[in-house]
Amino acid sequence: MKMAGDSVACDKQADLCRDGDNPHDNPTLPTWARLSINRCNLPAVILGSHTFQKNPTALIIDGVAELHRDFFRMLDARESADERVQLFYDYMTMCFRLEALEDAGFAPDMPKNRGKLNYLKLIRGWHFNADSVEGAVLKAWVESRFGLLPRHHRAPIRDFSSDAYNLYLEQRATGLYNTNALEAQLDLVYSYTQLELARRYPGLAHFHLYRGVNRWETHEFLGMKDGEKLVLFNNVNSFSGDAERAGEFGDRVIATDVPLAKIICCAEVLPGKLQGEGEYLVIGGVYGVKGG
């Protein structure tokens, strides 16, 4: 409350009060692009917002640190990045029995045996075709863990009774059927990537990344802010650290600051295992972008 003689500025002045006066000042993640619940420490409405892009914080998937505490303790004790990544590969192989699938109950004569689909094949499949069965599984994992709904799978998803959404549901189920804890494998990929990026780039909040796009006019635009177009991206996207490389994948190149907290994995952290150097697999939401 302002008392007589006070010189406090009115909180209705335009330069002091922006959000609420104009819905495009800091648009939140629309309700039709998110779930009301997820499996991490922040709700989708926050982690998918433009505000989070500009002011990110760590995203922690429920239960991963507790379930794999011994692994993370061993990681913390390794000073060499080469030792850490080898420890990660070995732990994934051991924990999910990737080289002894019969221990997980798989048999060669099982119908629709997809036991050999693991985190590496899934990510490689995404890079080959983001609208594949592997792409549907990755989008489903982001939907489950972070609460961001897919906006595109072979076609724009604008209606949850549409053919595009039904295809996504079908391919999601097909991809996850008879696999050995595939979503839990991705939980560890993301958690390891986050720890490794924090260790390699202490204090750094963003990477400046590029994306080649086609049919730019069909993207979901939410307005403008500070000279940037506000765009609602699909819940999973590929970006590149090199503008020329990004230009190979679209007729326009856009640039944005991607929070490290939204990087699922990258070739730098998993060397020799993923296709494409300088490529990043990124969680979506609202981003301010330049170019296009």
Question: Taking a C-beta distance cutoff of 8 angstroms, is the pair 85, 265 a contact?
Answer: no
Question: pLDDT per residue over 119-168, tens digit each?
Answer: 999 999 998 899 999 999 999 999 999 999 999 999 999 999 999 999 99
End-to-end, the C-alpha distance of the chain in Å comes to: 47
pTM strictly above 0.85: yes
Beta-carbon contacts of 17 under 8 Å, excluding residues fewer than 6 positions away, are 11
Task: Name the pairing type of β-strands 220-225 and 263-266.
Answer: unpaired
Q: What is the mean pLDDT of residues 217-233?
A: 95
Question: pLDDT per residue over 274-288, tens digit each?
Answer: 766 689 999 999 999
Of 116, 127, 138, 133, the C-alpha closest to 171 is 133
Of 18, 112, 113, the C-alpha closest to 104 is 113
Beta-carbon contacts of 151 under 8 Å, excluding residues fewer than 6 positions away, are 33, 157, 220, 232, 233, 234, 235, 284
